[in-house]
A and B are shown apart, each in its own frame.
Chain A
Amino acid sequence: MAGTDLRAWIVDRAALLLDVSPQRIATDRPLADQGLDSVSAVALIGELEDRVRRDLDPDLLYDHPAVDDLVELLDMPGRPPSHAKGA
Chain B
Amino acid sequence: MLSDTPDAVRAVRRWVAERPNADALVQVTDPDEGHDERLTYAELDRLARAVAVRLRRRYAENSRILLLYSPVRFTVGFLGCLYAGMVAVPAPLPGRQRHEQRRVHGIAADAEISAVLTETAHLADIGEFLAAGGRDGLEVLATDADLGVDPDTWTPPATDASSLGLLQYTSGSTGDPKGVLVTHGNLLANAAALRDGLAVGPDVRFGGWAPQFHDMGLMAQTLPALFYGSTCVLMEPTSFLKRPHAWLRMIDRYDIGWSPAPNFAYEYCLTRVTAEQTAGLDLSRWRYAVNGSEPVRAATMRAFAERFAAAGFAADACSPCYGLAEATVFVSGSAPRPLTTVRADVTGLAAGRLEPAAGDADARELASNGQAGTFDVRVVDPETRTVLGAGEVGEIWLRGDSVSQGYWRRQEATDAVFGAVTSDGEGGFLRTGDLGALYDGEIYVTGRRKDMMIVRGRNIYPQDVEYELRTHHVELGNVGAVFTMTTDGASDDPLVVVHEVTNPRDRGALPGLAAGMRRTVFREFGVTPAAVILVRRGAVRRTTSGKIERSATRELVRAGELAVEYADVDERWHTLVPNRELV
Contacts and interface: CB of A to CB of B under 8 A. Distances in A.
Interface in A10-69: 18-20, 24, 32, 34-39, 42-43, 45-46, 49-50, 58-59, 62
A42 B95 contact: no
Contact of B95 (A18, A43, A46, A59): A59
A44 B546 CA distance: 16
B477 A19 contact: yes
Interface in B509-568: 536-539, 542, 544, 546
A62 B538 contact: no
Contacts of B238: 42, 58
Given A20-B502, A24-B505, A43-B272, A35 B242 contact: no
> Which of B268, B479, B538, B546 has the most chain A CB atoms inside 10 A of its CB?
B538
Interface residues of A, number: 20
A62 B537 contact: no
Nearest to B536: A35
Interface range on chain B (Cβ under 8 Å from partner) = 20 to 34
A34 B242 contact: no
B242 A37 contact: no
A36 B537 contact: yes
Contact of B538 (A20, A32, A45, A49): A32
Given A20-B502, A38-B544, A58 B538 contact: no
B92 to A, nearest CB: 13
A32 B500 CA distance: 14
Interface string B491-506: 0000000001011110
A61 to B, nearest CB: 10
B536 A46 contact: no
B580 interface: no
A19 B537 contact: yes
10 contacts: A18-B537, A19-B537, A35-B500, A35-B538, A36-B537, A39-B241, A43-B242, A45-B242, A46-B243, A58-B238
Interface of A: 18-20, 24, 32, 34-39, 42-43, 45-46, 49-50, 58-59, 62
Interface of B: 95-96, 238, 241-243, 268, 272, 477, 479, 500, 502-505, 536-539, 542, 544, 546
Question: Lowest 3 CB-CB distances: which A-B pairs, in order?
Answer: A46-B242, A35-B537, A42-B241
Given A39-B546, A42-B241, 20 more contacts: A19-B537, A20-B502, A24-B505, A32-B538, A35-B500, A35-B536, A36-B537, A37-B537, A37-B538, A37-B542, A42-B238, A42-B242, A43-B241, A46-B241, A46-B242, A49-B242, A58-B242, A59-B95, A59-B96, A62-B96
